């Protein structure tokens, strides 16, 4: 078992190094991370916590492990998003929510970023034997949001928990995309309840997804993305 604080980029890099040192091949990477905070918090890297943890952590980890995944092809990258992506908006002028902050708005944007990242990754990996899919797990009964809940969240949570999925039920689509023969070769698609669904219109903006990729690469710093993939989808190593 490897343990890391994924909100800190140094920890993500340490985790990737430990995984690479331990596993000569990687068949599947499941990016499953998501938190929401009522108030704005900053990571050790000086980044807004929601965007850093929910988007930049899987972006960085995937890129650090990508060469091993490609060498192990066929391989799969599965990223857990949320139905909240449908309400998300990427504001490139205020990615760190410095001008105004809303916990729900920041969360929605980060989950939209998960989808856009997956679609762009699928485009960049076309023909490599590595697929990239993204999913909505459903509303799952976990400690999500408990660290810094809003007053409304505190009030509604006890009732909402009665209708939430168990963690096992919430993991079903991730497991399906990671291991099912039916999902072999499927890439650049969004799923819910183990079925392909249409994600938001914003998530299909290829130009914005490419911009998000480049901005994210700048934010994670040197070594976060393979140089062969920095400029254009046609260059692969």
| pLDDT by 10s per residue, the chain, length 237 | 999 999 999 999 999 999 999 999 999 999 999 899 999 999 999 999 999 999 999 999 999 999 999 999 999 999 999 999 999 999 999 999 999 999 999 999 999 999 999 999 999 999 999 999 999 997 755 555 556 566 655 555 555 555 567 878 889 999 999 999 999 999 999 999 999 999 999 999 999 999 999 999 999 987 665 433 433 333 333
CB atoms closer than 10 angstroms to residue 179: 14
Answer whether 0.75 is exceeded by the pTM.
yes
pLDDT at residue number 166? 83
pLDDT at residue number 164? 62
User: Beta 189-192 vs 130-136: how paired, if at all?
Assistant: parallel
The domain spans of the chain are 26-227
Residues 6+ apart with CB under 8 A from 168: none
> Quick check: is 190 catalytic?
no
Number of helical (H) and strand (E) elements in the chain, helices listed first: 8, 5
DSSP string, 198-214: ---TGGG-HHHHHHHHH
> SS3 for 2?
coil
Residues 6+ apart with CB under 8 A from 64: 12, 13, 16, 20, 223, 224
The single residue of 23, 101, 107, 153 carrying the catalytic annotation is: 107
pLDDT at residue number 147? 65
Residue with token string 């993500």 = 12
pLDDT at residue number 155? 56
pLDDT at residue number 232? 39
Q: Which fold has domain 26-227?
A: Rossmann fold (3.40.50)
């Amino acid at each position: 078992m490897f343990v890391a604080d994924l909100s800190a980029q140094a920890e993500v890099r340490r985790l990737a190094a430990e995984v690479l040192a331990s596993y000569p091949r990687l068949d599947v990477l499941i990016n499953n991370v998501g938190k929401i905070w009522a108030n704005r918090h900053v990571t050790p890297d000086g980044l807004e916590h929601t965007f850093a943890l929910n988007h930049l952590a899987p972006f960085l980890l995937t890129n650090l492990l990508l060469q091993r995944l490609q060498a192990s092809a066929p391989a799969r990258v599965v990223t857990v998003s949320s139905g909240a992506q449908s309400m998300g908006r990427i504001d490139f002028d205020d990615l760190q929510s410095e001008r105004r902050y809303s916990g729900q708005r920041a969360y929605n944007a980060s989950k939209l970023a998960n989808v856009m990242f997956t679609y762009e990754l699928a485009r960049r990996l076309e023909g490599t034997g590595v697929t990239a899919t993204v999913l909505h797990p459903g509303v799952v009964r976990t400690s999500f949001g408990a660290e810094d809940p809003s007053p409304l969240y505190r009030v509604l949570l006890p009732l909402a928990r009665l209708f939430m999925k168990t963690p096992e039920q919430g993991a079903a689509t991730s497991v399906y995309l990671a291991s099912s023969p039916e999902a072999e070769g499927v890439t650049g698609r969004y799923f819910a309840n183990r079925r392909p669904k249409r994600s938001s219109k914003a998530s299909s903006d290829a130009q914005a997804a490419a911009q998000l990729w480049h901005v994210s690469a700048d934010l994670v710093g040197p070594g976060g993305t393979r140089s062969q993939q920095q400029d254009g989808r046609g260059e692969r190593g």
